Structures are given as structure tokens and as C-alpha cells.
Structure 1
């Protein structure tokens, strides 16, 4: 990600994704350590516990995606990687379960430790993830052709299947 020969827009999105993922992780750690010193927007403990469970669900979805993907894991737009398209397991219900898992994890942490900085970094990072997905969706037909296009027509980007 953020390396090699690729369109400038893709390169920029990948670099932003790297940077903001690191910044968000640091923000989350600071938010957790200094919870009592930072102004929490969501102070209701029930909402904070729901956030915790949403983040756990995100971790489970991400790990499931990794296990299902096995050797076909692809990070970003990379023409040198030789992988196969995975459409089984969790990938029957989401074309991007790893990103979905990250999104849920980040949203859950933002709910549990809801200071304004954490929420803003979460929103921006999720936006960058979405832009990355859009770039990958332009690239994948060049690698997998009709097989990917058929998959794209039957499986939703984030969650669910499409009726035929």
C-alpha cells in the first residue's frame, strides 16, 4: 500500500489510509488511557458497553475475513500480487469484511471512548477506507475479470447479498 506504480489518486488514498490508521490507533490508546481526563460526548454506560460489543464484533469479523482469505490476502492496489478471488465463507455476505470489521471496531471504540478527537479521527478513517474500497473496485476487474463483476453483482460491498 502506498508503493509501486499506480494512479496518483490511488497512491494518495493508500498513503492517507496508512497515516490515519496509525493516528487513529494512537488516538484510541490515548482516549482509553485518559478517559477520565477527556470530555466524553457519550456518557451513558449502556451506550459505552454497546460500543464495546460492537468493537468485539468488528474484531471477530476481521479475524474471520483473514482466516477465510488465507493466502489470497491483498493489501491495496498491487499488480504484482498473484491471488485468487475468494467468494466463500464470510465473503458470500460481504465483499469487504475486513474493512467492515475495522469500521465496526473503530465505531465501537469511538462509542466507548467518545471524545471529539477520537470521533473525528474515526469518521475520517472510515471515509478513507471507503475511498480505498472504491479504488480497489476499479482495479479488481482488471485482475479477475467477469468473475469479479459477477461477484460484485451478487454480493454487497459491506453486508448482505443482492437478489438476482
Structure 2
């Protein structure tokens, strides 16, 4: 059951993330050009969060929410600031692209992705609490995203 749920979550994530890039638009909006500078900054920060987290995870990385067999709890580095820095970085990047494309469709999908990451991370954290008793303490001290 866990394996099927893992596959379902990863499949849904891929669908949502790919739908963002469909050539579709609900409604365009205009922002002052100064917002573009902030959006570029958010994009770079998002990508950096993802890259730093990927580097810290290295051999423990898995596309699935279930922790790998020989994994260890990481609560230092970027994980000191966010329990899910990869999700956080993806959300920052998608938000910035939504602003740059000035598209409500992309903003809505970013919100859907946020809700999805909340759901997926709740499942993941339940597994992490089973595996690592110290995760409950870490969870209380560190924000989700």
C-alpha cells in the first residue's frame, strides 16, 4: 500500500508541475516592471534552495516520500531553516515564474502545488516520525517550508 501511495504522490506531483508549462492562460495581469527584479531574485533563491538541499541529501535522495532504508535525519544546513527545502525552492521558483509570465493560470497552479506539497509532506513526516524519534522535536522547531 505504501509503495502504491508513493507512486501516486510522485505521479501527481509530476502532473501538476508539468501542467504549469502547458501553453494555457486563464487571465493575464500586469505588474510594474520592478516586480520582475523581485521575481528573478525569488527564482534564483528557489533554485539555490533546491540545489543546496539536493547536495545535502546526496545518497539519501529519493523521489518518493518514504525515507530510504539507510537514511539518517538531516536537521542542519538548509534543513535547519525548512523541513522541506526542495518543496520550498520549487514553490519559490514557480511563484516567481508566475509573476514573470503575469498569468493567473500559473498562480493558481502554484497554489495547487502548495496544497499538494502540504498533503505530501504530511504523509512524509508521519513516516519520518515513525523512523526517527527525534523528528518530533525537529518538527516543532523548524518550519515546514
- Interval of TM-score (by shorter of Structure 1 and Structure 2): 0.7 to 0.9
After superposition, the Cα gap between the structure-2 partners of 1:39 and 1:8, relative to the gap in structure 1 and judged at 3 Å, is same
Assess if the C-alpha contact under 8 Å between 2:42 and 2:92 holds in 1: yes
Assess if the C-alpha contact under 8 Å between 2:39 and 2:100 holds in 1: yes
After superposition, the Cα gap between the structure-2 partners of 1:81 and 1:20, relative to the gap in structure 1 and judged at 3 Å, is farther
Assess if the C-alpha contact under 8 Å between 1:95 and 1:155 holds in 2: yes
> For residues 67 and 87 of structure 1, what CA distance do their matches in structure 2 show?
14
> For residues 19 and 118 of structure 1, what CA distance do their matches in structure 2 show?
14
Q: How many residues align?
A: 145
> For residues 109 and 9 of structure 2, what CA distance do their matches in structure 1 show?
15
After superposition, the Cα gap between the structure-2 partners of 1:72 and 1:13, relative to the gap in structure 1 and judged at 3 Å, is closer
Of the three residues 42, 45, 54, the one matched with 1:54 is: 42
TM-score by length of 2: 0.84
Unaligned 5+ segments in structure 1 are 32-36, 159-164
Q: 2:102: which partner in 1?
A: 114
TM-score by length of 1: 0.76
> For residues 117 and 79 of structure 1, what CA distance do their matches in structure 2 show?
33
Considering only CA atoms, is the larger Rg found in Structure 1 or Structure 2? 1
Unaligned 5+ segments in structure 2 are none
1:139 paired with 2:127, answer yes
